[in-house]
Amino acid sequence: MPTIAERLRSLRDTLGQRTLVMGVLNATPDSFYDGGRYTTLEAALARAEQMLAEGADILDIGGESTRPGSQPVPEEEEIRRVIPLVEAIASRFPEATLSVDTTKSRVAQLALSAGACIVNDISGATFDPRMLEVVAQAGALIVLMHIKGTPQTMQQNPVYDDVVAEVKATLYAHAQRALQAGIPHERIWVDPGIGFGKTVQHNLQLLRGLPELAALGFPVLVGTSRKSFIGHILGGLPPEERLEGTLATLALAVAWGANIVRVHDVKAAVRTVTVADAICRGSSA
Ligand code: HH2
């Protein structure tokens, strides 16, 4: 099995060539789109296998929904949902690159020992004071996402003077903290946190502002997959009807500087970003 350092080196090489696709795997009963589908080990393993066959570069495994208004999951319950799954996927698919979607350092630590090499923290490592230390010690990579408030409060009338400038400044501050904690530059990715304390207009401004966020110098991850702003633009479509809208956001995100996209629909996303890369980077076969 490759070491964390080897896996991250190969991710970095790929990042220089094309957009990476991160497939979402939520072992939760209540996630806004895939909640309840992968709560058994068998179902989750089958889904992991499918996403890998469809070309996912990374699988992002989560045990706590962070949709607006969601309640926090106790640590022991999150560990029970996530760790056996990371272990099982790592042993069945040793070449797979695994990420854990958590804000809790203990969950992150156990997942990194069980075979993950990325910690995807929607709080930008602000909810748990030990998170950066755990990631630094493991030699892992951290995704630092912007959120305004908490999942419980974030959609209660979010206000910004200049959303792009404020998100950029916060991500810069998060990255500085990570560097000070001993995480090297090449192991830090940033994410504007689409839908996390943002109105529809804020989300659109942030997507248009991706070139400014990319100017921070860290790879940019974007997660728009089936989110509510897409349903809103399309006249109130539910999550099941938001695939085409999602693909539009992916193509434009690639054009505007996204390096990694986090999606539920891996096959469609891989096709979309491959064509977008060919246009934007001249990378067609
Ligand atoms: N979005 C979700 C969860 N984690 N992580 C990053 N880095 N960026 C995102 O945009 C992001 C994320 C929400 O999507 P999902 O996991 O499908 O839903 P839920 O939070 O309900 O589990």
What pLDDT is stored for residue 285 in this prediction?
Answer: 54
Q: How many CB atoms lie within 10 A of CB 142?
A: 27
227 is catalytic: yes
What pLDDT is stored for residue 155 in this prediction?
Answer: 86
Those residues of the chain that have pLDDT short of 50 are none
From 101, 230, 265, give the residue whose CB has the most ligand 1 atoms within 8 Å, as the site to mutate. Answer: 101
What pLDDT is stored for residue 1 in this prediction?
Answer: 80
What pLDDT is stored for residue 157 in this prediction?
Answer: 86
- The CA distance from 56 to 50, in Å, is 9
Catalytic residue (one of 262, 267, 271, 281): 262
From 65, 198, 226, give the residue whose CB has the most ligand 1 atoms within 8 Å, as the site to mutate. Answer: 65
In this prediction the pTM is 0.97
What pLDDT is stored for residue 210 in this prediction?
Answer: 98
What pLDDT is stored for residue 161 in this prediction?
Answer: 95
177 is catalytic: no
Shortest-distance atom of ligand 1 to CA 264: 17
What pLDDT is stored for residue 283 in this prediction?
Answer: 75
**CA 210 from chain center: how many Å?**
16
What pLDDT is stored for residue 17 in this prediction?
Answer: 95
Q: Which CATH class is domain 4-280?
A: alpha beta
Instruction: Spell out the domain ranges in the chain.
Output: 4-280
Ligand 1 centroid to residue 210 C-alpha, Å:
18
Q: Is 150 left (phi over 0), alpha (psi -120 to 50) or beta?
A: beta
Among protein residues, the one with the nearest Cα to ligand 1's atom 3 is 66
Catalytic residue (one of 7, 18, 187, 227): 227
Among protein residues, the one with the nearest Cα to ligand 1's atom 21 is 31
Q: For residue 4, what are the CA distances in angstroms to 94, 100, 151?
A: 12, 14, 30
List residues near ligand 1 (CB under 6 A). 24, 26, 28, 31-33, 62, 65-67, 101, 120, 122, 143, 145, 191, 193-194, 221, 223, 262
From 262, 263, 265, give the residue whose CB has the most ligand 1 atoms within 8 Å, as the site to mutate. Answer: 262
- The CA distance from 207 to 245, in Å, is 14
Among protein residues, the one with the nearest Cα to ligand 1's atom 1 is 223
Phi, psi values for residue 82, rounded to 5°: -95, -45
Among protein residues, the one with the nearest Cα to ligand 1's atom 9 is 223
What pLDDT is stored for residue 97 in this prediction?
Answer: 98
Measured in residues, the chain has a length of 285
- State the DSSP code for 95: T
